[in-house]
Every structure is written in C-alpha cells, then in structure tokens.
A and B are shown apart, each in its own frame.
Chain A
Amino acid sequence: MPLELDAESASWLCRLTSAIPAERLAAERELHARLLRIALAEVRRRSSRTPVTGPELDDVAHQAAGDAMLAMLGKLAEFRGESRFTTWAYKFVILEVSSKLGRHYWRNPPVELDAAQWERLPDRLGLDPHQHAEAACILTEVRHVIESELTAHQRRIFIAIVVDGIPLNALADKLNLQRNAIYKVIFDTRRKIRRSLVAKGYLDEAGGG
C-alpha cells in the first residue's frame, strides 16, 4: 500500500478499487472524463505538428483516453504515491496521444523511410559548403563517420532522423522500436561525429559534453 498519500490521491485509489461496483464505476467514469479532457487539449496543443486534423484529431483523443484508461487501471497496483494520483494517471494519456500521433505520420508522410536526402545534411548541421571550404571538409568527415562507423541499422536510424527529418515517434512506430533505442543511436552517433571532428582539428575538445 502506498504511504503518505495526499487526501485526493487516497480518495481516487480508494474509489477505483472499491468493492462496491457502483462506486468503482462512478470513479472510472469521472476519471475517464478527465482523461478525455486532457487528451482533447493535448491533441490540439500538438495539432500544428501533425497531419491529423478536425474530427480525426478528436478520434485520436477519444482512442487515447480509452486506451490510457485501460492501461492505467491495469497498473493501479504500481502507483506508489510518488506524485499526485492524477499526475500519474494523466501521464498515461499524454503518452498515448504522443504514440498515436506518431503512428499517423505514415498515412501521408512528407518523407518516406530510407529517402536519404543527403542534400539536406548541410542545413541539418548548420553548414554552408558553398561559403567555406572547411564546411565541405566537415561534411565529408561526417559522412565518412556515418558510413564507416555505424552498423546498417544505426545508419538507417541516423539518416531517417537527422538527414530526412522523420519525427522520432514516427520512426519508432515504423521500425517497432522503443523511443529510447532510437534516441541512443542518435546520441552515440553525435558523440562519434564530434570525436572524429576533434581528432581532425575541426572542433575543440572542450566544446562537447
């Protein structure tokens, strides 16, 4: 049993686990209404960055609220009172919205997977190879690292995210990977590229993390 719950969190937990079906159902309905309100606000907050619009956006919110409710009820026993209960519950619906909107990217993607638009790399790195010879050398070195130090899987992820600009959540959905697996590839590749550019004298050792 969680310790030192605030009164509101304790009340939610008590009602959602009540042995009286009517009390439990009333609490579930009340919480679902809250999750739906949060989901509707969240899809609108993200609306400028998704191709989903109008009633379809509301559908995503309804699905997210329903799925979050089921997932959250299945994990009630894991709530340890480290936050307010509602904050813990709302996290489920925020993550559902995030995941569902990522999935919708592929219905009409502006860029397909494996497009490998290398011409966009200079912009991504903030370099203009036409202005400085050194920028062209840096770009050559970056491509060398990508092609020689990454596995095919890592290269595919880096190109999709950095070169082609595919949203991380959308790529995670497409490749059926955890978000963290993709983030780690990008994180490690940044370090590899930086190390290589330092070794070649293009960057100072002190600048990186």
Chain B
Amino acid sequence: MSERDMLERFLQTDPRDVGCGQATAVLHIYVDLVAAGQDAPSRYPGVAAHLAACGPCGDDFAGLLAAVTSDEPDA
C-alpha cells in the first residue's frame, strides 16, 4: 500500500456513520440479525459504517456476537 493510500485510509470518513450512541443503542438488534445470517448492513448501513470505523464499538460488536453464538446449541 502506498503512502497516499495509507493517508487516504486514515482520513476516510463515511457520511452514513451514525456514531457511537446510535450504534450502541441498536447493537443487540444488529447482532441478532448477523447471528441469524440476515443482511444486517443493508438494514442498518449507518451502523455498519460505524462498526467498521470505530475500534471500540467494533470490539463491542465482536464481543456481543461471540457471546450470542456461544449460546447456540452447536457452539
């Protein structure tokens, strides 16, 4: 990856990004959709954009998804 690409990646922002508050508010709904194999990013594009950009919220998403899937019968 070139320096310019790395700089572009660092400066990248998605105008659909809903921010931490809104993403956290619906995180449980989003995670249930993902766990059920449904297309959560299409239903919540702003949440998907945020989870991809915000490290801490992305980490919470990963943790909640792991928690939910650990409850599944074949987990």
Contact = CB atoms under 8 A, between A and B. Distances in A.
Partners in one complex: yes
A201 interface: no
Nearest to A49: B59
Given A124-B10, A207-B8, A83 B31 contact: yes
A125 B28 contact: no
Contact of B4 (A87, A191, A203, A208): A203
Given A82-B29, A169-B56, A180-B19, A125 B10 contact: yes
Contact of A127 (B7, B24, B62): B7
Given A83-B29, A168-B56, A91 B7 contact: no
Contacts of A184: 19
Nearest to A172: B56
B64 A87 contact: yes
A84 B15 contact: no
Nearest to A135: B3
Interface residues of B, number: 41
Given A127-B7, A178-B21, A208-B11, A91 B59 contact: no
A190 interface: yes
A91 B19 CA distance: 17
Contacts, number: 115
Contacts of B55: 168
Contacts of B63: 42, 45-46, 94, 97-98
Contacts of B27: 91
Nearest to A92: B28
A179 B56 contact: yes
A163 B5 CA distance: 19
Contact of B67 (A90, A168, A178, A194): A90
B17 A187 contact: yes
Interface string B44-75: 00000000011111011011101110110000
B38 interface: no
Interface of A: 38, 41-42, 45-46, 82-84, 86-88, 90-91, 93-95, 97-98, 102, 124-128, 132, 135, 138, 167-169, 178-180, 183-184, 187, 190-191, 193-194, 197, 203, 207-209
Given A94-B63, A98-B59, A209-B13, 7 more contacts: A82-B29, A98-B63, A126-B6, A126-B7, A126-B10, A168-B54, A208-B11
Interface of B: 1, 3-15, 17, 19-21, 24, 26-29, 31-32, 35, 53-57, 59-60, 62-64, 66-68, 70-71
11 contacts: A41-B66, A84-B32, A84-B68, A87-B68, A88-B28, A90-B64, A91-B64, A178-B21, A180-B19, A187-B13, A209-B12
